[in-house]
Every structure is written in structure tokens, then in C-alpha cells.
Amino acid sequence: MMARNSTLYSHRRLVEAAEARGHILDIIDTLQVYMNIATHHPQIKYKGHSLDGYDAVIPRIGASITMYGLAVLRQLEMMGVWPLNESVAIGRSRDKLRAMQILARKGIGLPVTAFAHSTKYTDDMIEMVGGAPIIIKLLEGTQGLGVVLGETHTSARSVIDAFRKVNVNILLQEYIKEADSSDIRCLVVGGKVIAAMKRTGPPGDFRSNLHLGGTAVKEKITPEERSIAVRSASLMGLNVCGVDLLRTHHGPVVMEVNSSPGLEGIEKATQIDVATKIIEFIEEHADSQAVRAKGKV
């Protein structure tokens, strides 16, 4: 497993599930890996030792090291190691703007979203997404960080101007009031939703992320929500992912597709052994499928 912190709940659970089924699962600190990109004998090493003999890799690449993590994963793919999620698919989903463009092209419902480089047209952009209040997101943000609610037109404009002055890319999205600070996390493994939970933010916070104080309960999803989650995972090319949905007056919309979903919240809320289902998927597919790396990034 490519992961920086071996003590995280998700990583410990995957190790437990793998070992319970007779496998050896090593956790490799992604940033301690280095490689020789050669035509005939590509090599990858970790702390002075060659990483040879692995049948599969579980990439748990943190958002802050996406570029280097994907480079390491591509090297493993070159050497014939089967990835749970391929580098192309992870890169596609990590680029929030690209991911939304792919989903929109295929008719997946999304919050109304605007993107621009110049602040010259900020007022028009705010109106494009329905006017204040609006959600302002850093493209590189994750787990609710870098997400701000612009409650009025003036405050939204001030936040946008501040972000642009420090040269970061942002998205503007409509604020969906009827979602009531809640979202639905669907955990997709191998083209099936195996677990779903409803997350609700703490009082006074519009974000529903659990690590920010939100709560989660098991949720029964509709056939439409199930279909949207499965299609979104397929369009990203991800075997395992978390698809976050918002319920709106005009149907469910996709907020994000997460290629490294946390397991703690959903396992505890649903009492479903997600980690074992992931290991079972690897068992079924690692020997039978070569690295596809299909589609464009």
C-alpha cells in the first residue's frame, strides 16, 4: 500500500483485512520511494531496497503529494504491478475541474459551477451560479479544507479577490439550501455501491465532513442515486471510490468523486466490513487483468 501514515484507521483496517485472508500487505511511505526510469530495466526502490515481487498496489495518495504519488504509481504500473486504482483514473478525479467536465459531458447532475482566471468578471460569475450565497472552493482543497461560504455578494467577492491575490485556482458553486448541510457518501467497489451513509455538519457549519465534527448515519439510497454513483465511478475509471451526492429539489447531484475514501466513518455508520470487500475485489481481479491505463488524463 502506498500511504504515508500507517496508523490511520483506513490503512490499519486494510492491513487487518488482507492478513485475515492470508496476504502480506506492506505499507510504503510514498515520499521515501525513488526510481530509475529506464527503457529495458525500470527500477523502483524504497529505503535502499528494490520493490520487487508485489502482485498489487493499493494507492492511498494524499492530495498534497498527488504529483509525486502518481509518478510512483505509474512506475509500478510500468513494472506490471496491478493497481487497485490506476494512475490515470486518480489523476482524472483529483483534478476537480476536469472531473466535473467529464461528468457534465456524460449528463451527470452537478451543482451549477463557474471557473475563471481573471477577477474582472467576478460579479457576472457570482450571478452565473445563482447569486449569493455561494460556495467558493480551492481546486486543490480536500476534506472540506479550502471551502468557504460567501453569504452575501460583497463577502463572496472579497473572498474571491483574496484567493486570486495569492494566485490559487478556485471554483464557484451554487449553494444548495435544501441539502441542509448534509450529503450522501456512496462507497463504490467494483461497480457496485456496497455502503452508503448520510453525513451532516455540526451546528453552524455548512460542511458535512466527519473530521470537522460532522455526524454520520447509515442511509438507504434511491435507485437513481445508486446509478449516478456507479456511473460517476465508471466515468472516472475508479475501481474503488467515494461518490458524494447532494439531494436537491431537481434530483441528486455529484459534489465530488474521492479516489482514496476514508473507511472509518462509513464502516462505523453502516457496520459493513468495507476493507474486506476491497481485499476481495483485489483477489478477484489482480491476477486476471493487466494495467489498462485507458482514456486520457
DSSP letters along 135-197, please?
Answer: EEEETT--TTTTEEEE-SHHHHHHHHHHHHHTT--EEEEE--GGGTTEEEEEEEETTEEEEEE
Q: In sequence order, which residues have a C-beta less than 8 Å from that of residue 105 and are 6 or more positions away?
A: none
Which DSSP state fits 107? T
User: Domain 178-284 belongs to what architecture?
Assistant: 2-Layer Sandwich (3.30)
pLDDT value of residue 295: 40
- Find residue 185's DSSP bridge partners: 197, 244
Using CA atoms of 47, 51, 54, 58 in order, give the dihedral in degrees to the nearest 10. Answer: 50
In whole angstroms, what is the distance from residue 181 CA to residue 213 CA? 12
- Find residue 256's DSSP bridge partners: 244
Q: Could you tell me the sign of the dihedral formed by the alpha carbons of 70, 72, 78, 81, in that order? A: negative
User: Domain 113-175 belongs to what architecture?
Assistant: 2-Layer Sandwich (3.30)
Q: In sequence order, which residues have a C-beta less than 8 Å from that of residue 43 and are 6 or more positions away?
A: 35, 36, 50
In whole angstroms, what is the distance from residue 93 CA to residue 107 CA? 17
**Is there a shared CATH topology between the 9-92 domain and the 113-175 domain?**
no
Domain residue spans in the chain? 9-92, 113-175, 178-284
* Tens digits of pLDDT across the chain (297 residues): 999 999 999 999 999 999 999 999 999 999 999 999 887 788 899 999 999 889 999 999 998 899 999 999 999 998 899 999 999 999 999 988 999 999 999 999 999 999 987 778 899 999 999 999 999 988 765 555 678 889 999 999 999 888 888 877 888 999 998 888 899 999 999 999 999 999 998 766 666 565 556 789 999 999 999 999 999 999 999 999 999 999 999 999 999 999 999 999 999 999 999 999 999 999 999 975 554 544 433
Using CA atoms of 196, 201, 207, 210 in order, give the dihedral in degrees to the nearest 10. Answer: -60
Cβ proximity of 228 and 221 under 8 Å: no
- Find residue 44's DSSP bridge partners: 35
Which DSSP state fits 221? P
Which residue shows C-alpha cell 530495466? 41
Strand order in the sheet with 43-46: 33-36, 43-46, 49-50
Q: How far is CA 168 from the centre of its chain?
A: 20
Largest CA distance in the chain: 59
pLDDT value of residue 205: 63
Cβ proximity of 286 and 56 under 8 Å: yes
Secondary structure (3-state) at 29: coil
pLDDT value of residue 210: 56
Burial code of 162-191, b = ≥16 C-beta within 10 A, e = fewer? ebbeeeeebbbbbbbeebebbbbbbbbbbe
Which fold is adopted by the domain 9-92? Rossmann fold (3.40.50)
